[in-house]
Structure 1
Amino acid sequence: MSGWALWTGRQPCSPGSAPRHTGGHLRHFFQSFKNQTEAGSVGDMSSVHRLIPWAGHTNFAASKGGVDLFMRSLVRAVSGEGIRVNAIAPAAIATAIHQAFVDDPEARDPLLTMIPYGRIGDVSDVAQAVVWLASDAADFVVGTTLLVDGGMSGSKQE
């Protein structure tokens, strides 16, 4: 795997914070990255809710739309230096915040109707996508948000 340097984690990045990050520590990060001999990859964690509105979670959904634009803006700034920038956008993944859906069939069954693949994702589904996106196998994948959502983003949402 060449030069995997940064994956920002799953914390929301509000659209208003992107210029502050770009103008501050990311400028120093990219400068040190440019001094390396290998190309590298930067990743952002987004969500399927960058595409699918989520009533009651407007701030979260809007921030994920901001992550998408932040990632695509970084592509313009650094891809000419051999730095790939991409994002991962998972849907419902079996983590602590989705535990109620995992444990309770009455909560899970309505959610599963929105996921054509018929299951809640596992953390390993996201991890494998991150590993691939960071690998040399994805060398020409730049400026993309990879959906890890079991088809949720392509299904009709009620």
Structure 2
Amino acid sequence: MSEHHIKPSRFDSAMNATVAWLARRGVSFFGTAELSVVGRKSGEWRRVPVNPLSMNRERYLVSPRGASQWVRNMRAAGGGRLQLGRRRQTFTAVELPEGAEKTEALRAYLDRWGWEVKSYFDGVTAKSSDDELARISPLHPVFRITVTDSAAANDDTVAEAPAAGA
């Protein structure tokens, strides 16, 4: 498990805040949604925009920036919530080990969003060889998510975080 992480610039942080705000209001750009994960230290919900990937009847979250804060929180929490407008989905998450499923998910992610995230993948694209994808795979965590509850959100706030150890 690599701790490689590319910290967002101020511009990227501002854009992420805007995209997350829009996702909470139902506006999605190329499939974005807002991810909420309980902070591993604070116990408070943390929000960030993500591009959920659907592939082979499964859903995945890929971290183009590596072991970002949401990844570290997801590893600790084991799940989170995706929100787009009033639709909120609670899910469990399992981080994929290195292997064929992760390579296939990275290829599909790059095929869909490579134009947006190419600078984080060291020249690797959806058309790169399996060996090239395997080389960068340890730098990009991928989680398979399973929706456990889907409901309409009552407002744009996130519910209270569960108690520590719950």
Could you say which TM-score interval applies, normalised by the shorter chain? Answer: under 0.3
Q: Greater Rg, structure 1 or structure 2?
A: 1
TM-score (norm 2): 0.27
